[in-house]
């Protein structure tokens, strides 16, 4: 979803500034290129204090991009039928909204959200789109998606959870990722922050691009509704 406040003044652009194309080349070079892209696209990664968790989030994105055959993380769209906004923009917007809300919960209401969990879960909540949307972009955006993983059959909130589990993210992060389908019944403060921030960002995007609310978009266009 779109960054609600616009990019920071020191951001290169809304999606990050690395133009490295990860398509082609050997596996090691391709993985390095994805890593470079992810770190540039998501400056919020640097705010995760736990080194291991930051690495897990980065690795989940690299795996998703590699298996989806994507050339550039910025080519993954926000939605199958909304390409004007990238998934990177949305993920960054969700992260910024959730962190700002968590700060208000802490400072104004005395709550104690785990900011590393909030940031990691927000950054991973739509990583599954690397699998789900491979068939909804031009061929020059990706090469040879791995059919073992890349498919619209599995909703991205579930495949994103699977990626977080695979790379070893803590349970607190994993349980906050299924934000639309497959939600964990007992929801944590951090999970609710992810869900509400996703709705706020998504509403802004669907209104700006299609003139409809998120609920209207889900009813009319969602592949899982």
Sequence-ordered list of residues with C-beta below 8 angstroms from that of 70, at least 6 positions apart, any chain: 22, 23, 76, 130, 134, 141, 142
CATH number, residue 89: 1.10.3210
Q: Which of 59, 151, 167, 192 is nearest to 177 (CA)?
A: 192
What whole-number distance in Å separates Cα of residue 1 and Cα of residue 89? 5
Quick check: is 7 in a domain? no
Quick check: is 12 in a domain? no
Q: Which of 7, 12, 30 is nearest to 20 (CA)?
A: 30
What whole-number distance in Å separates Cα of residue 174 and Cα of residue 60? 12
Instruction: Please count the structural domains in the chain.
Output: 1
Quick check: is 37 in a domain? yes
- Predicted TM-score of the model (pTM): 0.86
Range of the domain at 155: 27-221
What sign does the dihedral 102-106-110-116 (CA atoms) show? positive
The first and second tokens of residue 225, run together, are 């509704």
Measured in degrees and rounded to the nearest 5, phi and psi for residue 170 equal -60, 155
Sequence-ordered list of residues with C-beta below 8 angstroms from that of 48, at least 6 positions apart, any chain: 54, 57, 116, 119, 120
Q: Along the 225 residues of the chain, how does pLDDT read in single tens digits?
A: 333 333 333 343 444 444 455 654 457 777 889 999 999 999 999 999 999 999 999 999 999 999 999 999 999 999 999 999 999 999 999 999 999 999 999 999 999 999 999 999 999 999 999 999 999 999 999 999 999 999 999 999 999 999 999 999 999 999 999 876 667 778 899 999 999 999 999 999 999 999 999 999 999 998 665
């Amino acid at each position: 979803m779109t960054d609600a406040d616009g990019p920071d003044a020191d951001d290169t652009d809304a999606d990050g500034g690395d133009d490295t194309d990860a398509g082609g080349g050997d596996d090691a070079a391709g993985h390095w290129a994805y890593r470079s892209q992810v770190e540039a696209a998501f400056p919020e990664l640097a705010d995760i204090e736990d080194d291991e968790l930051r690495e897990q989030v980065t690795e989940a994105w690299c795996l998703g991009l590699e298996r989806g055959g994507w050339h550039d993380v910025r080519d993954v769209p926000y939605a199958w039928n909304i390409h004007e906004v990238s998934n990177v923009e949305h993920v960054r917007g969700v992260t910024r909204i959730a962190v700002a809300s968590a700060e208000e919960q802490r400072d104004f209401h005395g709550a104690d959200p785990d900011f590393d969990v909030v940031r990691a879960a927000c950054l991973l909540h739509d990583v599954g789109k690397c699998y789900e949307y491979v068939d909804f972009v031009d061929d020059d955006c990706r090469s040879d998606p791995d059919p073992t993983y890349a498919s619209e059959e599995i909703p991205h909130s579930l495949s994103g959870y699977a990626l977080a589990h695979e790379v070893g993210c803590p349970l607190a992060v994993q349980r906050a990722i299924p934000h639309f389908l497959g939600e964990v019944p007992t929801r944590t403060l951090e999970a609710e922050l992810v869900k509400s921030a996703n709705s706020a960002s998504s509403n802004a995007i669907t209104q700006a691009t299609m003139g409809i609310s998120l609920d209207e978009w889900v009813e009319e266009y969602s592949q899982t509704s």
